Structure 1
Amino acid sequence: MGELTLIKHNAHRVDVDGHAMLMHVPSSSLFELDKVSCDVYDLFQRSAAVDAGAMQSSLGSTYAPSELSDCVQSFLDLDILRDAAEPEVARKIVKVEEIPLSTIILNVNTGCNLACTYCYKEDLAIPSKGEKMAFETARQSFEMLLKQAHERDRVNVVFFGGEPLSNMPLIRELVAYAEPRAAELGKVVDFSLTTNATLLTEEMVDWFNEHRFALTVSMDGPKALHDMNRKTVGGKGTYDVVERKVRMLLSRYTARPVGVRVTLTRGVTDVIGIHDHLKNELGFAEVGFGPATSGPIAVFNLDDGALKQVFEDMKALGRRYTDAACRGENIGFSNMHQLLTDIAQGTKKAVPCGAGLGMLAVDKEGDLHLCHRFVGSDEPTYGNVDTGIDVPKLADFIEKAQDRSAFGCKTCRIRSICAGGCYHESYSRQGDAFAPVYHYCDVMREWVDFGIESYVRIMQANPDFFRSQLEPRMSKPGYSPSRPEASDIVKEIAR
């Protein structure tokens, strides 16, 4: 062989309890290295370039030539090694020719009966000034979804706000239209809704149950923490009413597990305490955390130190999750579910999420946005439900989003999991939807390494956990799994 060099940003090694794990960065696939592949990898880590003579001198007394040759070929196949004289091949930008939607998000009302201090919605209004979506706009939105999802057998409609329950007549009317209309085309339609729960009634819950809604409640933990930021328009804390409505919801709702989303802000960072209250005391199936770092009122945002501490606390809860998973138990920590799904599946993202590809959001006028977070913002829209999707404009955005090389993502070891981070987070914090969320970069790299460690430990103790708990969650828009083949020198962990 001629001189070969290691493409360091295509491989990342993590040692876990005596197992030498190698993440193949372009695909996020995880491999366990045997002794020869460990030694070959270490040799290339130490040397800028290695030829046959250098390899024979360093490793020839330990391994047969065929063992070394097979190992090198495995790394070449995985694009971990390349000819030192050849330039690196640039990442291919995938052309976007159509928008294969699976999900439409309907912003059914700009009005909300709460005034949460960290709300990102730029079009938010008090209830008396809320602007509600008309049924015809919702109907056209659904028809557009069906048209764009012509090759899919399942579609999803998400109701959002403001507070979506403040426009229940529209929600009921669209569900009555969408279910038989989808059936005409041989499709199944699922409905999702995120609510602050204050307007829930028993009759609503029973109706949601009948139509198998996927429900998520926004709640920030015990009373003292929840009431810090989640207040009524009049400034009163909402914990007491939300707690009462949640207990009613969880006692009556049987169609699907109900999850809760927590926003972590300055002063609201007790990850373990919040999880234990919401999961063990109230009974939510899952608890997910979202740190606030780019909200409209900076005083509530987590600074770098607070963000790092939050992730340390999330890792502490993640260790609980891992220990429970090894025993065959699930403690309902959504962030760990998603992290382990990405690792187990071998996530390969070219873009951060399904926004603009598998998913679009619709405002009350029928204009199309990348996602619900952009509704009401100054960012461009991409067509209207009357005229259809502006495919060239949206395709241009998605194609540009695939190239983050100007920002340093090209050599990041989690680029296939992160892909630059949330467009809205970047827009809110830096005024550029393509600029990576740098304040997350270091903690996210540590979080992924933690996920690799957790994955290996669960696989060693209880591999069935992934089949029983994670496989139902492994269908996400915006990316597809990729698990490249390798020789017997590197063995992929059993999926």
Structure 2
Amino acid sequence: MTITKNNSSLSSFFIPKQITKCTLLVTQDCNLRCQYCYIEKKNAVMTLDVAKKIVDFAFQKNPKNGQLKIGFFGGEPLLEFEQIKLIVGLIKNHPRYSSSNVNISITSNGTIFNRDIADFMLSQGIVFCISCDGPPEIQNANRKFTNGQGSSVVVEKTIQEALQYFSLLPVNAVYSDQTLQYLPQTVDYLVNLGVKNVYLNPDISAKWTQQHADQFPEIYGVLAEKYLQFYLQSKPKFISLIDNKMSIILRGGYGPFDRCRMGSGELAFGVTGNVYPCERLVGFDDGKTNCIGNVVEGTIKPLSCKSVPIAAINSECVQCGFSEYCMNWCGCTNYHSTGRYDRVSAFMCAHERATINIAYHTIQRMNENGIDLSHHIQGTPLVNAVNNSGNH
């Protein structure tokens, strides 16, 4: 299975219409140098003037009484914690702000945390997410400080402290061709720390081969068995790789609002106001590659690239019986692995097939054991972990 990139046929465009999610890269600086990061590092910080333009644009393009997600990203956003506090003030003082309609989040590498940060996020109702790839040997191999030192000790301490404030703290673990086999140990490690909300995401830039693809069913199957045991022990956990796919299957496939709508309903903003279809496409933020304009200059325009993908154009995808349950529409994943927003890599196909099969099998097992799947059918599987948030 060889992944090749094809940058030729970039023909149609994105048009921002109704924005429901925007990501602000408050800085592209970072104190870590993760091997797989898709954001190039540079010393740049978003000013309040730029942030105000973004906030005004987001509310202007958000439907009346619509839901709006605003995320702080980087680099490492908490390097600019004071600036984040000021930007949150801009958001909450906006005439169209409503606490019931606006969701604010911060995604951090977990190396910066203290009581002041926790108190601020709690008081402002901010969702806090930490990235941690697993046990020390995995975390330290991929996520090192700029001096080459591993980050595991610091991040583990942060997770333990943060869980005292945020019982459902989301933790995001990235796995690659080098760490795929350790996914079950990663889940065990995070659960033993007290994490109930686990996101597992493959490194889409890794050197995946057919040998790895052949391992997906067995390794994902081990995860599914752990997942089932959590339920049988009345201690359910949310594991994105399983929960999300189960929910999609039970609901009959991906609906329009289950897809990210990159570039039309979802945008990312660089430190100078450059606009991108997704935070994973910001790169060096050169204002050229994947850029659709600048919010400060008022030049947001159609992107001479590709249409917003609603499905892949691969002939095998068109004919596949799994297509309704498959993330073949994920434009940024496709772009990083094939160079095209609408063409799926062989890796992604194998990954999706494995997760769909494992999720379907897990549904059968849960039905056999009389486990209630109503929250999955409603598209809210995390509620099961929420209802168990008092149990450790």
TM-score using structure 1 length: 0.67
Q: Is the 8 A contact 2:163 2:194 kept in 1?
A: yes
Deviations 1:74-130 (A, max 9, x none): xxxxxxxxxxxxxxxxxxxxx998622111100111100001112122x223xxxx2
CA deviation after TM superposition for structure 1 residue 391, in Å: 5.7
Q: Is the 8 A contact 2:31 2:145 kept in 1?
A: yes
CA deviation after TM superposition for structure 1 residue 473, in Å: 5.5
Q: Is the 8 A contact 2:306 2:341 kept in 1?
A: no
Q: Which of 96, 110, 120 is the matching residue for 1:197?
A: 110
187 and 138 in structure 1: CA distance in 2 versus 1, 3 angstrom threshold: farther
Specify the alignment match of 1:479 in structure 2. none
Q: Which of 284, 290, 297 is the matching residue for 1:380?
A: 290
98 and 421 in structure 1: CA distance in 2 versus 1, 3 angstrom threshold: closer
Query: Matches of 2:88 and 2:100 in 1, distance apart?
Result: 14
Query: Matches of 2:65 and 2:322 in 1, distance apart?
Result: 30
CA deviation after TM superposition for structure 1 residue 357, in Å: 2.7
Specify the alignment match of 2:66 in structure 1. 153
Q: Is the 8 A contact 2:311 2:329 kept in 1?
A: no
CA deviation after TM superposition for structure 1 residue 345, in Å: 2.2
Q: Which of 262, 268, 275 is the matching residue for 2:173?
A: 262
Query: Matches of 2:110 and 2:75 in 1, distance apart?
Result: 12
Q: Which of 193, 211, 228 is the matching residue for 1:305?
A: 211
TM-score using structure 2 length: 0.84
More strand by share: 1
Query: Matches of 2:217 and 2:79 in 1, distance apart?
Result: 35
203 and 394 in structure 1: CA distance in 2 versus 1, 3 angstrom threshold: farther
Amino acid of the structure 2 residue aligned with 1:368: V
CA deviation after TM superposition for structure 1 residue 244, in Å: 1.6
For structure 1, the 5+ residue unaligned runs are 1-94, 296-300, 475-495
Specify the alignment match of 1:111 in structure 2. 29
What percentage of aligned pairs have identical amino acids?
22
Deviations 1:360-385 (A, max 9, x none): 00011211101001113563322322
RMSD value, Cα: 2.9
CA deviation after TM superposition for structure 1 residue 180, in Å: 3.0
Specify the alignment match of 1:134 in structure 2. 47
Query: Matches of 2:376 and 2:339 in 1, distance apart?
Result: 42
Q: Which of 280, 283, 292 is the matching residue for 2:203?
A: 292
Q: Which of 120, 124, 137 is the matching residue for 2:41?
A: 124
Secondary structure in structure 1 of the residue aligned to 2:380: helix
Matching of residues 337-416 of structure 1 within 5 Å: 337-349=243-255, 353-376=260-283, 379-388=289-298, 390=300, 392-393=302-303, 397-398=307-308, 401-402=309-310, 404-405=312-313, 407-416=315-324
Specify the alignment match of 2:342 in structure 1. 434
Amino acid of the structure 2 residue aligned with 1:447: T
Specify the alignment match of 1:444 in structure 2. 352
Deviations 1:195-215 (A, max 9, x none): 111111121011111112212
Specify the alignment match of 1:279 in structure 2. 191
For structure 2, the 5+ residue unaligned runs are 1-12, 383-392
Deviations 1:384-442 (A, max 9, x none): 223557464489622xx236345432112222232525322322232222221222213
Query: Matches of 1:217 and 1:389 in 2, distance apart?
Result: 34
Of 156-165 and 144-153, the range deviating more from structure 2? 144-153
411 and 470 in structure 1: CA distance in 2 versus 1, 3 angstrom threshold: same
Matching of residues 330-341 of structure 1 within 5 Å: 330-341=236-247
Query: Matches of 1:202 and 1:185 in 2, distance apart?
Result: 26
427 and 184 in structure 1: CA distance in 2 versus 1, 3 angstrom threshold: closer
Matching of residues 136-285 of structure 1 within 5 Å: 136-181=49-94, 188-251=101-164, 253-254=165-166, 257-269=168-180, 270-280=182-192, 282-285=193-196
Query: Matches of 2:327 and 2:353 in 1, distance apart?
Result: 12
Secondary structure in structure 2 of the residue aligned to 1:181: coil
Amino acid of the structure 1 residue aligned with 2:245: L
Deviations 1:462-483 (A, max 9, x none): 3534338964359xxxxxxxxx
Query: Matches of 2:290 and 2:265 in 1, distance apart?
Result: 18
Query: Matches of 2:63 and 2:246 in 1, distance apart?
Result: 31
Q: Is the 8 A contact 1:117 1:230 kept in 2?
A: yes
384 and 459 in structure 1: CA distance in 2 versus 1, 3 angstrom threshold: farther
Amino acid of the structure 1 residue aligned with 2:171: V
